[in-house]
């Protein structure tokens, strides 16, 4: 599938969900969900990034509402799901189980297209490897396999810090010099502090660092979103919780399990200049899953709404709409 640089696709015009609700998934967690598009259309589920990033009304607009039945939801602890920023019973296995519960109890479909970017790509691949018979196609962006080198790239000196040395200094600022040998663990101590001021300062620094790595050019609107208190605390606490625990995935697990994706049509849209999830992971996945269509966007970064990335994603959902 080719993208056309001179005639790029954008989001579909705004449309509203036809049904919304909260799903009790146990252990005190309730998930906000919404169904939109065509109730009789091709089923699709959208898995947002983060972890802890939450969904937005724009996410559903990457699908043709006349052709798709679209389920979008907020993962545990973020967005409109409750309890807010909770780390209890919040693991990858929990989220995979939630997707299945949403499929059977909310969408009420046998199988569906799975769409995920960044952490959403990790969750999409994990779900597809565990339930390959439930996945019709995969549309992925900004591949993150949750291997240690990817965590180190973002949160240790020598990776993204080489591209953004000034912004990395801001990321280091809340951490005492004697605790900087493992920044993920040092941040965990502050993000789980009983002192809400300490927690918020760390959350905004963590989220600002990520916000700086996700766009090719500085974007004030993105930074404002990432560092707003209601977003920053959920993103930073939950994301750090997953990073400390290696995503509850064995090193190399998703690549090793890629043979389970055989027979599932897939498209990966990957920014060449993505400094949050660099293209090397997408390339490794392509080698382990040769039939996937890997599109490296020459002027793309990490975010879904950058022009080249968005063009590829909308063309991907259009391509699969009539299968």
Cβ atoms of 136 and 111 within 8 Å: the answer is yes
The values of phi and psi at residue 109, to 5°, are: -130, 160
Q: Which sign does the torsion angle of CA 212, 215, 216, 220 carry?
A: negative
Q: Which residue has the tokens 């569906």?
A: 112
* Catalytic site residue from 48, 241, 273, 302: 302
Strands 266-271 and 42-47: unpaired
Per the annotation, the verdict on 133 as an active-site residue is no
274 is catalytic: yes
Which entry of 64, 98, 274, 311 is annotated as an active-site residue? Answer: 274
C-alpha 162/C-alpha 168 separation (Å) is: 9
Residue 302 annotated among the catalytic residues of the structure: yes
DSSP 47-82: E-STTTT---TTGGGGS-TTTEEEEEEPPTTSTT-B
Active-site hit among 36, 118, 124, 207: 118
Evaluate whether 277 touches 291 at the Cβ level (below 8 Å). no
For the beta sheet containing 266-271, the strands, ordered from the edge strand earlier in sequence to the opposite edge, are 19-26, 29-37, 68-73, 42-47, 112-117, 135-141, 266-271, 293-297
Q: How many residues does the chain have?
A: 323
Contact 246, 151 (CB under 8 A): yes
Q: Which residue has the tokens 């602890």?
A: 77
Q: How far is it, in rounded angstroms, from Cα 274 to Cα 133? A: 31
List the end-to-end C-alpha distance of the chain, in Å, as a whole number.
15
User: Any idea which residues carry the catalytic annotation?
Assistant: 118, 274, 302
């Amino acid at each position: 599938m080719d993208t056309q640089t001179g005639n790029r696709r954008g989001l579909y015009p705004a449309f509203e969900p036809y049904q919304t609700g909260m799903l009790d998934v146990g252990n005190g967690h309730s998930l906000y969900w919404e169904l939109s598009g065509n109730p009789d259309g091709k089923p699709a589920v959208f898995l947002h990034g983060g972890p802890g990033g939450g969904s937005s009304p724009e996410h559903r607009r990457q699908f043709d509402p006349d052709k798709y039945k679209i389920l979008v939801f907020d993962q545990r602890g973020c967005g409109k799901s409750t309890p807010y920023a909770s780390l209890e019973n919040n693991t990858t296995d929990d989220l995979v189980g939630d997707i299945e519960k949403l499929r059977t109890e909310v969408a009420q479909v046998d199988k569906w297209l799975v769409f995920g970017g960044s952490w959403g790509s990790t969750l999409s691949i994990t779900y597809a490897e565990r339930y390959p018979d439930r996945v019709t196609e995969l549309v992925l962006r900004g591949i993150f396999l949750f291997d240690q080198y990817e965590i180190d790239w973002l949160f240790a000196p020598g990776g993204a810090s080489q591209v953004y040395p000034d912004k990395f200094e801001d990321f280091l600022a809340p951490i005492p010099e004697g605790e900087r040998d493992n920044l993920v663990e040092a941040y965990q101590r502050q993000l789980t502090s009983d002192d809400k001021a300490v927690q918020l300062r760390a959350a905004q620094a963590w989220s600002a660092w990520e916000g700086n790595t996700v766009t090719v050019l500085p974007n004030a609107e993105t930074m404002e979103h990432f560092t707003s208190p209601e977003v920053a605390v959920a993103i930073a606490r939950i994301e750090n919780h997953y990073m400390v625990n290696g995503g509850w995935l064995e090193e190399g697990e998703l690549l090793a399990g890629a043979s389970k994706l055989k027979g599932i049509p897939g498209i990966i849209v990957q920014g060449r200049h993505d400094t949050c999830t660099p293209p090397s992971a997408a390339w490794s996945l392509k080698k382990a899953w040769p039939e996937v269509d890997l599109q490296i966007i020459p002027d793309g970064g990490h975010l879904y709404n950058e022009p080249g990335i968005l063009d590829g994603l909308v063309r991907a959902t259009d391509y699969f709409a009539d299968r």
